[in-house]
């Protein structure tokens, strides 16, 4: 079977269960394609020979009752993997080898999956284009010199280019959904508290969530089922009854009420995005859902709120990088000098910028004006969603205000880079689940995504809506393998 890497996760699992393919064959196919795809720069760390060894071991005594039997997969380099280097895309962690495993990745290995390697990402997940990574930009397989989105850019590129059948990313302000949209794949940000944050390099603790990225909704649902669990090692993990997301997946969304928020019609939204949104509305109507106009009046305040809350939490979280306990250390004349040089040389420009913003908004005299103010506005944003969900079951919006842009196009203008996340950030601020599905192409042939936002803990509902829409949209990603010589 030469087309192993073209198969979806569900097909691979079926073929392994039917003994038509071995884990070794599948793993070798993805390793080979990954090796031929180095120009994409999707991997930070490859663990290929260990992966093949693990696959052989799996095949000796295969447990086919597992949910991911012998399936190889690469993960974002923000998840701590025991004895495998974990960098968070940063120079400051370039030599860090965790002695423990994140809960989310442990859940994946427990179901029989095999680690292929660690995928590139923006430094500490701070970015929307993967350009802030210490390990360089990642290419979008859609076109040369196009960003794959961020911060889970290595993850989106690797799934779209079929270097891994599925992957996991993390999403603090859009870092799963925006790159999914830019590369024509599916990405889910679960409800805050659904997936454990234990062992994930922290960015902004009240916003960070891990989530699945896949080629289709069914695969995404399966991976979500594997990673979502209550974990006492994360005090914000929530003990609620999780669904059997795949078993309960249905395209019957008849009578569901879908809200269309008027505030998401932002100024200067490209016509292509407006048209895509209209098409999306038609698709859900075709499926028998009811469209209801709603208002989320504080939408325009979400990004400014985010750019106070996220850097504030980041500046506290990143205080731990002091050159003492782990990570990079620069030489200094004394302790303070060592701290300052370590952090100045170890962190990249965007991370330093955000630590500075965070430090400033938390500093004496400014805390009330900025941080407290932002937490109050965050409450208003959450109230908007609570109000809307009295009338609707889910909300449909575009995922991003544009398709993928060229590498270097926005690096000199932080605010224009931040605007990428305008449709995704409110969801994190309110702690809700959101899924991005590929829904069409722009004039250049680049993919565009639509986002479905759900009520807290209602992942099943948005997966079902996405599943029904996926069938109507019948999206085909245009991948030409241009990077393979």
Residues catalogued as catalytic: 76, 151, 175
| Nearer of residues 70 and 311 to another protein, judged by Cβ | 311
User: Among the residues of 171-258, which ranges form H helices?
Assistant: 177-183, 217-227
Size of the chain, expressed as the number of residues it contains:
485
**The token pair that represents 196 in the structure block:** 């454990």
Q: CB of residue 95 vs another protein: minimum separation in angstroms?
A: 8
Instruction: Give the 3-state secondary structure of 14-51.
Output: HHHHCCCCCHHHHHHHHHHHHHCCHHHCCEEEECHHHH
The angle at the Cα of 355, spanning 350 to 360, to the nearest 5 degrees, equals 125
**The token pair that represents 295 in the structure block:** 């208002």
Residue 90: name the closest of 359, 312, 323, 351 by CA.
351
Q: What phi and psi values does residue 406 have, to the nearest 5 degrees?
A: -80, 150
User: Among the residues of 202-300, which ranges form H helices?
Assistant: 217-227, 271-286
* Alpha carbons 223 and 183: distance in angstroms, whole number: 19
| Nearer of residues 118 and 378 to another protein, judged by Cβ | 378
| Nearer of residues 283 and 370 to another protein, judged by Cβ | 370
| Nearer of residues 359 and 477 to another protein, judged by Cβ | 359
DSSP β-ladder status, 209-214 and 166-171? antiparallel
Are 456 and 434 within 8 A, CB to CB? no
Q: CB of residue 356 vs another protein: minimum separation in angstroms?
A: 5
* Alpha carbons 274 and 180: distance in angstroms, whole number: 19
| Nearer of residues 338 and 473 to another protein, judged by Cβ | 338
| Nearer of residues 127 and 148 to another protein, judged by Cβ | 127
| Nearer of residues 50 and 338 to another protein, judged by Cβ | 338
Q: CB of residue 306 vs another protein: minimum separation in angstroms?
A: 10
Q: CB of residue 86 vs another protein: minimum separation in angstroms?
A: 10
DSSP structure string for 408-463: TSSTT-HHHHHGGGTTTHHHHHTT--EEEEEEEE-TTS-EEEEEEEE-TT-HHHHH
User: Among the residues of 184-301, which ranges form H helices?
Assistant: 217-227, 271-286
SS3 (DSSP) at 180:
helix
Q: CB of residue 235 vs another protein: minimum separation in angstroms?
A: 6
Q: CB of residue 339 vs another protein: minimum separation in angstroms?
A: 5
Q: CB of residue 239 vs another protein: minimum separation in angstroms?
A: 6
* Alpha carbons 48 and 68: distance in angstroms, whole number: 18
The angle at the Cα of 471, spanning 466 to 472, to the nearest 5 degrees, equals 100
């Amino acid at each position: 079977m030469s087309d192993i890497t073209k198969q979806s996760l569900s097909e691979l699992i079926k073929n392994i269960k039917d003994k038509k393919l071995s884990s070794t064959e599948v793993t070798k196919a993805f390793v080979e394609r990954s090796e031929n795809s180095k120009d994409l720069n999707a991997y930070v760390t490859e663990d290929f020979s260990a992966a093949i060894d693990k696959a052989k071991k799996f095949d000796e005594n295969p447990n086919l009752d597992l949910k991911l039997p012998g399936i190889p997969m690469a993960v974002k380099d923000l998840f701590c993997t025991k004895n495998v280097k974990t960098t968070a895309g940063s120079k400051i962690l370039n030599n860090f080898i965790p002695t423990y495993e994140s809960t989310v990745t442990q859940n994946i290995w427990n179901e029989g999956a095999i680690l292929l390697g660690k995928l590139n990402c923006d430094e500490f997940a701070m970015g929307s284009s993967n350009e802030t990574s210490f390990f360089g930009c990642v290419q979008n397989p859609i076109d040369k010199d196009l960003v794959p989105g961020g911060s889970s850019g290595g993850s989106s590129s690797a799934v779209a280019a079929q270097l891994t059948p599925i992957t996991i990313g993390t999403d603090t302000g859009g870092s799963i959904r925006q790159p999914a949209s830019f590369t024509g794949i599916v990405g889910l940000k679960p409800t805050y508290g659904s997936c454990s944050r234990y062992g994930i390099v922290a960015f902004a603790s009240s916003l960070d969530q891990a989530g699945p990225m896949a080629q289709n909704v069914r695969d995404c649902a399966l991976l979500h089922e594997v990673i979502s669990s209550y974990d006492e090692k994360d005090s914000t993990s929530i003990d609620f009854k999780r669904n059997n997301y795949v078993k309960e997946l249905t395209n019957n969304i008849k009578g569901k009420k879908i809200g269309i928020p008027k505030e998401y019609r932002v100024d200067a939204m490209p016509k292509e995005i407006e048209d895509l949104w209209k098409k999306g509305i038609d698709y859900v109507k075709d499926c028998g859902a009811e469209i209801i106009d709603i208002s989320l009046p504080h939408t325009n305040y979400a990004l400014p709120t985010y750019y106070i809350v996220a850097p504030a939490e980041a500046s506290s979280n990143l205080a731990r990088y002091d050159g003492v306990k782990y990570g990079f250390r620069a030489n200094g004349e004394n302790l303070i000098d060592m701290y300052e040089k370590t952090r100045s040389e170890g962190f990249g420009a965007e991370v330093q910028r955000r630590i500075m913003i965070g430090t400033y908004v938390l500093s004496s005299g400014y805390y009330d004006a900025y941080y407290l103010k932002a937490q109050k506005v965050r409450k208003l944003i959450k109230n908007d969603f609570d109000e809307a969900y009295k009338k609707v079951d889910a909300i449909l919006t575009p995922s991003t205000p544009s398709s993928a842009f060229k590498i270097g196009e926005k690096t000199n203008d932080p605010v224009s880079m931040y605007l990428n996340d305008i449709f995704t950030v409110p969801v994190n601020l309110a702690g809700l689940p959101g899924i991005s599905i590929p829904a069409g192409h722009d004039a250049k042939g680049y993919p565009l995504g639509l986002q479905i936002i759900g009520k807290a803990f209602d992942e099943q509902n948005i997966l079902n809506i996405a599943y029904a829409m996926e069938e109507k949209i019948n999206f085909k990603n245009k991948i030409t393998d241009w990077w393979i010589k």
